[in-house]
Amino acid sequence: MKAVKRIVDLRSDTVTKFSESMLQALVKAEVGDDVYHDDPGVNQLQERVAKMMGKEKGLFTVSGTMSNLLSILSHCKRGESAVLGTYCHINAYEQGNIASIAGVMPMPVNENSDGTFDFDVLATKILPPDQHFTKTTLITFENTHNKFIGKALPFGYDKKVSEFAVKHGVKTHLDGSRLLNAYYYHKERNPNIKEKDLTEGYDSICMCFTKGLRCPIGSVLVGTDEFIAKAHRWRKALGGGFRQIGYIAAAAMQSLDEAETIFTRDHKLASMLHRELINAEIKCEPLETNFVNYWPKTDLKLPEYVARLKDNGILVGGRIDGSVRMVCHAGVNEDDVELIVSTIRSFQKNDRNKN
């Protein structure tokens, strides 16, 4: 990379770092040994997230991947099957741990372009009680959907999920790693809603703190007391017990206090970036939350195009369909948006001049 004044990292919102207020909360945290249930900070965080989601109890874990695996281990027995989206994070980006560790058979179903399922198609994946088949125990969902450019599931979708699950006798889990992005997307349109209005219909939910909420580790898995008791045992078996985790919990609590400011700002920046790209006559995916996806106007192959952006201090993600993904977060500002758009425009101009 050539010398540039500033690096703008848009690869993911996982590149975020503690705010000053989060660092101060960490320094001042009261801590204890969580294996003995003596850490007040993590106890408060678990309780707070459970209440937010309308569930009985919460469990702090290292990551969304661990939370998802714990949910599968706790809902399913070895040899049973779980229905999940073909392009969901659990199926595509978690190393097949549903099979290799949990011993559960994945039953993938193609999602709609907004991350939802066709319930009629979903029903065909729930196997009848026949000796030749696995028992279908669980269906997983994702909100917002990573593969579908941060799309938020429709408001009220969890109620439809609950009705379907009760009818077919299965449990449901929501991978809500970016759930607060979905919540603030809907809250902008319906100011009176609460977080639990997106989650009450699921049996278990996880929410991650390492994306827009700026923590280096951490996710909270929520559900019934019985479910969390199972998940707690599985967490121990996977080496996931903590000692003085209250330092991270304190920072996470502070990030929740700042959540509305964080996500409102992230979405506003994404909207600004999206609008300026469209004004530059660049084809973009419809925007909902903090993911901006566009198709570059260039004769360059995508890896070369991404490398040229990097040489100019802009880090992005190239996608298999030839598009470019940019994720807005706390480390991006309005001046960066101007830099990004002007750089992309200059690439188009330079490419035209070469022809």
- Condensed to tens digits (0 to 9), the pLDDT of residues 318-348 reads 999 999 999 999 999 999 999 999 999 988 7
Question: pLDDT at position 55, please?
Answer: 99
- Condensed to tens digits (0 to 9), the pLDDT of residues 243-271 reads 999 999 999 999 999 999 999 999 999 99
| C-alpha distance from residue 135 to each of 127, 183, 218 (Å) | 7, 33, 32
Closest CA to 91 of 139, 159, 132, 160: 139
- Which 8-state DSSP code applies to residue 321? T
**What value does the mean pLDDT take over residues 193-219?**
98
Longest dimension (CA), the chain: 68
**What value does the mean pLDDT take over residues 296-301?**
92
Question: pLDDT at position 355, please?
Answer: 47
- Condensed to tens digits (0 to 9), the pLDDT of residues 312-325 reads 999 999 999 999 99
Examine residue 14 and say whether the peptide bond preceding it is cis (omega within 30 degrees of 0): no
Which part of the chain has CATH 3.40.640.10?
Answer: 20-257
Report the half-sphere exposure of 129 (CA within 13 A, side-chain side): 3
Which part of the chain has CATH 3.90.1150.10?
Answer: 8-14+259-347
Domain 8-14+259-347, architecture per CATH = Alpha-Beta Complex (3.90)
At the topology level, CATH places domain 20-257 in: Aspartate Aminotransferase; domain 2 (3.40.640)
Question: pLDDT at position 192, please?
Answer: 98
Question: pLDDT at position 351, please?
Answer: 57
Determine contact, residues 318/306, Cβ cutoff 8 Å.
yes
